[in-house]
Structure 1
Amino acid sequence: MHLLPRETEKLLLHLAGELAKKRKARGLKLNYPESIALISSELLEAARDGRTVA
């Protein structure tokens, strides 16, 4: 399967967001990159569902 660079980036962001979500659910503190990945992943999912960010 061939992915465009943008698609690869979105996939990695989603995976990092899911990992951060699991770590947060276990009660661990998130570091800065994990926090950004979690926020970005949630925003992308909200946009995909048709919700607005504002």
Structure 2
Amino acid sequence: MHLAPKDLDKLVLHQAGVVAQKRYARGLRLNYPEAAALLATQLLEFIRDGESVAAL
């Protein structure tokens, strides 16, 4: 499968966010890249759900 660079970046970010979410749920402390991926993934999900900027 060939993905555009933009789509590949989104996929990698999503995967990193999922891994970070699982580690956080287990009570592990996240490092900086994991925390950033988790925040970015959550923001993208809020945006997809139609949340306004003020609500974020």
Query: What is the TM-score of this pair, normalised by structure 1?
Result: 0.92
Q: RMSD in angstroms over aligned alpha carbons? A: 0.9
Distance between the aligned counterparts of 2:32 and 2:53, measured in 1? 21
After TM superposition, the runs of 4+ consecutive aligned structure 1 residues lying more than 3 A away are none
**Structure 2 runs not aligned, ≥5 long:** none
> One-letter code of the match for 1:17?
G
Counterpart for residue 7 of structure 1: 7
- Determine what percentage of the aligned residue pairs are the same residue: 59
What secondary structure does 1:37 align onto? helix
> Contact 1:23–1:30 (CA<8 Å) still a contact in 2?
yes
**Structure 1 runs not aligned, ≥5 long:** none
Are 1:48 and 2:48 counterparts?
A: yes
> Contact 1:16–1:38 (CA<8 Å) still a contact in 2?
yes
